[in-house]
Structure 1
Amino acid sequence: MTQTQTETLKPKQHFEILDGLRGIAAVAIVIFHFMEIVHPPSENFIAHGFLAVDFFFCLSGFVIAYAYHDRIDKMKISDFFKLRLIRLHPLVIFGSVLGLLAFLYDPFGGHPETYETGKLILIFLASVFLIPFPVMADRYFNLFGLNAPGWSLFWEYVANILYALFLYKLSRRLLFLLTVFAAIGLCFVSHRAGGSLLGGWSGETFWDGFARISYSFLAGMLIYRSNWIIKSKLGFIGLSILLLLAFFVPFSDFNWLTEPIIVLLYFPLLIILGAGATLKPGFRKLCVFLGNISYPLYMTHYAAMWIFANYYTKYKPETNELTFVVITGTIILVGIAYLTMIFYDTPIRKYLTDKRKKV
């Protein structure tokens, strides 16, 4: 690490504004998932909310490089994997359980009786162990039919494995070249998909997920390794507005241009600015809260989306009722995420961490 990096990125510094932005992105993707059930992309006011996943990937690359670059050489690779499993997998399991319960006991419909018990067990186990298994036709062949967001966690795990095996060893020059190649790959995927980066979640678009994480994760790493940190006075509110603008970009014939620009340039720039921004004390608790609930919210919300889809299909609610349901539903899902964090995720991770230290 250079002297400049030492000064800019102090040991154990916590990027609370970036945590807050991650929470904003998680809430945005919940609202996007509500709205995509109701409206086609051209009528969806948060049409590009799905790009929050690319923001997560870029932020993940930055945070992993920051957290492990200077110490992974001194660790056993098995210890790195244990740390990542403890951090990520409890909510993978919890989200799968919620997804199964919602599938079996959806009050508004669904047809669990059409699935043989053996097949349902396989679907559940695949979800728990993050093994892509796109067999549920009534759920658009999602890679993980019981908990759709698992697709991005699958690729997150792949990126973490590749990081521990060789990515961290790359020189900055090689990392830059690899990022450029990944950017070309992302543009190719966008072009092949008709100008959209919406893929990665289904069996048919499986490899789109690889393209999406390849660029964004590498770009996040490159930001840290290159010390691309820009001091700014934007603060949490200013950066939140800039992030939300990306999600509110209308779906149009120019997606082939706007989506790659957002992912290739805009999100990395926001992370560069966010890492160098100063957080006002009054926003600290909000950023910590948003950061803490972001991952639980992301991994627990989708069970409710299938229930909402069946409710919408059955009752066709008017706009006023729909607005109330989406707003109330989002607030409730944030509350569920918070309770999940307090009573499940934090205690489980603490228990597993303590147990690992005793071994």
Structure 2
Amino acid sequence: MAVNKRFDALDSFRGLCAMSVVVYHVNMVGSVTELSFFRASHLLVDFFFVLSGFVLAHGYGFKSGLRFKDFFISRTFRIFPLHIFMLGVFILLEIAKWLAYKKGFVFNSIPFTGVTAPQEILPNLVLVQSWTPLTNPLSYNFPSWSISVEYYMYMIFFALTMLRGVGKYLAWAAISCSALYMLLHDHHGITENVLRGLSCFFGGCLTYVLYRKVADRIDLSYTAGSLLEMVVLAGTITVVALPVPEKTLTCILLFCLCVFTFSLEVGAVSQAMKRPFFLRMGVLSYSIYMTHAAILFCLLSLMIVLQKVTGWQIAPMVGDKRYLDFGGPVINDLVLLAILALVIFIAGITNRRIEKHWQQVGRSLTQSYALRRAEK
């Protein structure tokens, strides 16, 4: 099994899931944001965890001569630069809220209180906000709660790569199954977010073990592969959207099945996912995920100001949530498309200027260390 193989269809699905999470965080009256699938799209973060486990098991799980320093640099320079940049953006936004508050203008909450209290900054900075009940996982750039879980799971994963043979598989299975058991039985010793991550991530690792063992022996025709992909995808979408029994367990199992199915890349759906637009969404997925909360906050704040100035009810409160409403379902859907286009545009900038730049810095550091080792 080639370690440098790229799973293009899965990368594309990562981008589509990131966009679905954006839609989940947009509340727009009478628009497609109110569809049951998008109202449950927060569950797709579990898909990210499964996919990350699958991809890391492929890239590192069976790699000989793996060094922690190289792994640490690679993962840290992949995750932290954009995270720190966006944390800085949110701190600046909170300062702007504080200045407005001094002028008598309040944006939903008093600045530097609650989820944006000053004591939440350090846990966010070092990405531990999801690992302790003493911190708020949804503070500041709230999508980073899952990055907090994922980053330290990488380190657990690396430690387990030191195991050999069946011991590695058993360790992955033990962590995934025990975390899932505790998650389903409301165990309070570990935070729910961490349990979600552990169960899904190491479930993804096990999914890769299955792929590694059987993928070369699966010989599906294009028609059969297409039918399988459509059934699995339709089933996954349906379960996410509907209030099915044992939804957490069912979704995790379906996400593992979905990742395995589309890793084979044998049908029409996976081939469609290799088209340039979808591949681009996969490339931008991390930036889309990490930047969208700030973009939505700025847009919503602007609408609140316009509502106060003009008297137009374009940012009404519905229950305890702030919605957007520009006059009807059609125009609201068009505005939603414009918001998604803006998120993609900004994600393209942060991907190019921050993600790619710092990943190159990380690669340069790794190469420098490799040269020093060679010289010795």
What TM-score bracket applies, with the shorter chain setting the length? 0.7 to 0.9
Shift of residue 87 of structure 1?
1.4
Q: Mapping of 1:4-15 within 5 angstroms?
A: 9-15=1-7
| SS class of match (2:191) | helix
Q: Give the distance between the partners of 1:222 and 1:100, measured in 2 at CA.
A: 39
1:245/1:252 Cα in 2 relative to 1: closer, same or farther (>3 Å)?
closer
- 2:14 counterpart (22, 34, 52): 22
Aligned to 2:209: 225
Structure 2 unaligned spans of 5+: 305-314, 370-376
**Preserved CA contact (<8 Å) 1:48 1:251:** yes
Calculate the TM-score normalised by the size of structure 1: 0.76
Aligned to 1:342: 352
Q: Which amino acid aligns with 1:246?
A: T
**Preserved CA contact (<8 Å) 1:58 1:218:** yes
The answer to whether 1:143 aligns with 2:133 is no
1:171/1:121 Cα in 2 relative to 1: closer, same or farther (>3 Å)?
same
Q: Give the distance between the partners of 2:177 and 2:29, measured in 1 at CA.
A: 30
Q: Give the distance between the partners of 2:231 and 2:94, measured in 1 at CA.
A: 36
Aligned to 2:337: 327
Shift of residue 81 of structure 1?
0.8
* Paired positions, count: 330
Aligned to 1:160: 154
RMSD (CA atoms):
3.9
Q: Which amino acid aligns with 2:147?
A: L
Q: Give the distance between the partners of 1:269 and 1:356, measured in 2 at CA.
A: 35
Calculate the TM-score normalised by the size of structure 2: 0.73
Describe the superposition over 1:39-76 as per-residue Cα deviations: whole angstroms up to 9, x where unpaired. 9x9974512211111111111111111111232x4132
Aligned to 2:260: 272
Aligned to 2:251: 262
Quick check: 279-288 or 348-357, which moved more?
A: 279-288
Aligned to 1:93: 84
**Preserved CA contact (<8 Å) 2:130 2:194:** no
1:237/1:350 Cα in 2 relative to 1: closer, same or farther (>3 Å)?
farther
1:170/1:57 Cα in 2 relative to 1: closer, same or farther (>3 Å)?
farther
Q: Which amino acid aligns with 1:289?
A: R
Q: Give the distance between the partners of 2:34 and 2:180, measured in 1 at CA.
A: 23
| SS class of match (1:110) | coil
Q: Give the distance between the partners of 1:34 and 1:218, measured in 2 at CA.
A: 31
Quick check: 79-88 or 274-283, which moved more?
A: 274-283
Shift of residue 307 of structure 1?
4.0
Q: Which has the larger radius of gyration?
A: 2
Q: Give the distance between the partners of 2:61 and 2:172, measured in 1 at CA.
A: 17
Percentage of pairs with the same residue: 21
Q: Which amino acid aligns with 1:78?
A: K
1:114/1:257 Cα in 2 relative to 1: closer, same or farther (>3 Å)?
closer
After TM superposition, where is structure 1 displaced by more than 6 Å over at least 4 residues in a row? 36-39, 234-238
Aligned to 1:179: 173
Aligned to 2:194: 210
Quick check: 173-182 or 43-52, which moved more?
A: 173-182
**Preserved CA contact (<8 Å) 1:58 1:268:** yes
Shift of residue 95 of structure 1?
1.9
Describe the superposition over 1:233-255 as per-residue Cα deviations: whole angstroms up to 9, x where unpaired. 4889995895576356476653x
Q: Give the distance between the partners of 2:282 and 2:34, measured in 1 at CA.
A: 30
Quick check: 323-332 or 208-217, which moved more?
A: 323-332
**Preserved CA contact (<8 Å) 2:28 2:324:** no
**Preserved CA contact (<8 Å) 1:102 1:304:** no
1:11/1:239 Cα in 2 relative to 1: closer, same or farther (>3 Å)?
same
**Preserved CA contact (<8 Å) 2:19 2:340:** yes
| SS class of match (1:217) | helix
Describe the superposition over 1:73-116 as per-residue Cα deviations: whole angstroms up to 9, x where unpaired. 41321221111101111111122123223333369953786438
Aligned to 1:201: none
Q: Give the distance between the partners of 2:235 and 2:336, measured in 1 at CA.
A: 20
Shift of residue 284 of structure 1?
3.9
Q: Give the distance between the partners of 2:177 and 2:106, measured in 1 at CA.
A: 42
Structure 1 unaligned spans of 5+: 1-8, 136-140, 194-203
| SS class of match (1:260) | helix
Shift of residue 325 of structure 1?
3.3
1:214/1:282 Cα in 2 relative to 1: closer, same or farther (>3 Å)?
closer
Q: Give the distance between the partners of 2:160 and 2:365, measured in 1 at CA.
A: 28
Aligned to 2:289: 298
